[in-house]
Structure 1
Amino acid sequence: MTRPLRKLGFLTIGLFDPDRPREGHESTLRLIELGERLGFDSAWLRHRHLQHGISSPVAVLAAASQRTSRIELGTAVTPLGLENPFRLAEDLATVDVLSGGRLNPGVSVGTPIHWEHLRDHLYPGTWEQEDFSKQRVARLLHNLAGGDVSTFSGTEGIETFSTRIQPFSPGLRERVWYGGGSHGSAAWAGEANVNFLTSSVVMAGDIENPDFATVQREQIDLFRSKHADGEAARVSQGLVVIPTDSATPEQVARYEAYAAARLPRTSAPVGPARLMFAPDLVGTSGQVAEALSGHAGFQAVDEVAFALPFTFEEADYVQILTDMAERLGPLLGWSPAS
């Protein structure tokens, strides 16, 4: 049985022209402002290192925090292999304070992509010692929870020092999400009592004849079985969803071509990790709602952060977000925030 949708969010990578990067960043900020006006509960930015997409979501969300007042702001996700958990905790806490407690940091771990090409610039002389395990998440959680990061405190001259990250933002640790696509990641996130982000990519592992929705549902159920909050533990799903109700015929044709070009990758697990990709959902809000109602993963969640396609124009995103909020969301049981 499908749960009524309680929180509606969207995710973007914020593409920009490398010769005019400000325009792309401003476009992303305008979309977040639009999301707030439409009643969306959350807006999420995805990291894109060494690409023409947002490389510093935390900085962009700091700007967004001053142009909005209600909508929650998240990262989906920050790859911690390129971050120092000490410094990142300072940045996250600062933005959370500026936003009034609206930040939702989503993180993941693993060896950074193209590691052999950038490691000497990222960690010169120490890259062999770097730990890319989930211990990196544990360090970040410790820092955000106010755990000690120094053995020195007190006043030295005219300066006062703390043993914990400053500023300290109460409640931020409880708003951390782990982005995972495997059963192991789902179990770990539950045991760590963080929230769980599941997307349009999962790992089939050793499952024979896997079905994407069934695998995703298994991971959601496993996460909640390990989490202290049980069935109340927060899970957000991030499929690519493109409602076409108010789209022009030209837009519909481009949307359908985009989804069709990506469809072959969904036919079978890919690579040693047996990655599985969900088909993009394109159609009227009624058609999309019907498809979601039969999706085993969607049936288990009451929060979503629908992913916007990568390469469309701002006008396309405005149409998609407007249809999501005004037509698709209500069909899924959602009511816009006031």
Structure 2
Amino acid sequence: MPSPGVPLEKLGFLTIGLFDEADPRGGHESTLRVIELGEQLGFDSAWLRNRHLQYGISSPVAVLAAATQRTSRIELGTAVIPLAWENPLRLAEDLATVDVLSGGRLNPGFSVGPPMHWDDVRAALYPDTADVEDFTYERVARLLRFVEGAPASSFAGREGVVEEWSDRVQPHSPGLRSRLWYGGASLRSAVWAGEKGLHFLSSSVVKAETSEDFATEQAAQLQAFKAANPTGRASQGLVVIPTDSASADQRAKYAAYVEARLPRTATPQGPARLMFAPDLVGTSEQIAEQLYAHAGFREVTEVVFALPFSFEHDDYVQILTDMAQHLGPALGWSPTA
């Protein structure tokens, strides 16, 4: 339980990988450079969000494959891959391949539920099977089985002169199963993830189930996960913007960004009663004080702070540098050499 006397153990960051439609390579290259910077600054992990049919990374596994060849130490994660868009067997192959390339550093996170804008994309995504697709936890269970090495085919052996067939996903990466995460926003998801031996990603969005206080709800979910899986890892992911070395223009831009997003945090939103955490902006000392007072933060020993969506590359450099050199140490964290 982090407090001023208990150091934060792991510090990570998350990015959406925004790009310009007219120059998508530039945005993807910026994301790779940010991951490289994170390793140089001593961060423990770098995570990519998944954005389908938007101007953010649609294929985080592919981008992380590139990142494996430009880094050597930092853990690489996805937060999160919506499995409704994926074939679990094919995804298991991709994840295992990237994990092998990374030397065992991949930390895949995923979630379930119908795709966003389901009525708009169903004809393109599942033209023949939309009405029978399973978007429940069973889709996760299928992925887990394939990652673990369960049979994916009834045939194995030699065919012809040189072709060898396996009945399970290849390559098989034995340690990958122990590094799988579930991104949840409800008590049910937290308990289910724990019972399945997954790690738990808690973000800046939770469901209002027992109260309308974000920190209280997040803390309850993290406690439920730890009760179900006492040895599992759990992380908190809020939008955090330290300003220690920011210019006056950057500070003004950051303040405007946070102010524009603040109204949505006042009450639960929509039929699902989703609650959004306020973004934290200020000096590292100010942010550390707010985090130590946050019930959700007090339930974790590692964090994956989310970078704002729409900033420039230089802004991310400043924010990450301040996180590593000021905010992390203010939370008792030490960078990895």
Paired residue for 1:97?
Answer: 100
How far 1:254 sits from its partner (Å)?
A: 0.6
How far 1:226 sits from its partner (Å)?
A: 1.1
Structure 2 letter corresponding to 1:323: D
Q: TM-score, normalised by structure 2?
A: 0.98
Asked if 1:67 is matched to 2:66, the reply is no
How far 1:112 sits from its partner (Å)?
A: 0.2
Give the alignment partner of residue 151 of structure 1, picking from 145, 151, 154. Answer: 154
Q: Which moved more, 1:12-21 or 1:263-272?
A: 263-272
Structure 1 segments of 4 or more deviating over 6 A?
Answer: none
Paired residue for 1:42?
Answer: 45
Paired residue for 2:335?
Answer: 336
Alignment partners' CA distance in 2, 1:312 and 1:70: 26
Structure 2 letter corresponding to 1:72: E
Alignment partners' CA distance in 2, 1:304 and 1:174: 19
3-state DSSP class of the match of 1:129?
A: coil
What is the correspondence of 1:56-205 to structure 2 with a 5 Å cutoff? 56-157=59-160, 158-205=162-209
What is the correspondence of 1:199-214 to structure 2 with a 5 Å cutoff? 199-205=203-209, 207-208=210-211, 210-214=212-216
Alignment partners' CA distance in 1, 2:50 and 2:271: 24
3-state DSSP class of the match of 1:67?
A: coil
What is the correspondence of 1:286-297 to structure 2 with a 5 Å cutoff? 286-297=285-296
3-state DSSP class of the match of 2:131?
A: helix
Alignment partners' CA distance in 1, 2:96 and 2:220: 33
How far 1:148 sits from its partner (Å)?
A: 1.1
Asked if 1:266 is matched to 2:265, the reply is yes
Alignment partners' CA distance in 1, 2:30 and 2:109: 22
Structure 1 letter corresponding to 2:334: S
How far 1:138 sits from its partner (Å)?
A: 0.5
Structure 1 letter corresponding to 2:175: G
Alignment partners' CA distance in 1, 2:7 and 2:81: 29
Q: Name stretches of at least 5 consecutive residues in structure 2 with no aligned partner.
A: none
Q: TM-score, normalised by structure 1?
A: 0.97
Alignment partners' CA distance in 1, 2:143 and 2:244: 42
Paired residue for 1:20?
Answer: 23
Structure 2 letter corresponding to 1:272: P
User: Across the two proteins, how many residue pairs are aligned to each other?
Assistant: 333
Alignment partners' CA distance in 1, 2:260 and 2:205: 17
How far 1:60 sits from its partner (Å)?
A: 0.3
3-state DSSP class of the match of 1:127?
A: coil
Alignment partners' CA distance in 2, 1:276 and 1:114: 20
How far 1:150 sits from its partner (Å)?
A: 1.1
How far 1:20 sits from its partner (Å)?
A: 0.6
Paired residue for 1:303?
Answer: 302
Alpha-carbon displacement from aligned partner over 1:115-146 (angstroms, at most 9, x marks no partner):
11111111111111100001000011111111
Alignment partners' CA distance in 2, 1:292 and 1:125: 48
Paired residue for 1:225?
Answer: 227
Alignment partners' CA distance in 2, 1:148 and 1:292: 45
How far 1:300 sits from its partner (Å)?
A: 0.9
3-state DSSP class of the match of 2:335?
A: coil
Q: Name stretches of at least 5 consecutive residues in structure 1 with no aligned partner.
A: none
Alpha-carbon displacement from aligned partner over 1:5-29 (angstroms, at most 9, x marks no partner):
1111000001111011000000000
Alignment partners' CA distance in 2, 1:121 and 1:264: 35
C-alpha root-mean-square deviation of aligned residues, in Å? 0.8
How far 1:51 sits from its partner (Å)?
A: 0.5
Alignment partners' CA distance in 1, 2:137 and 2:178: 17
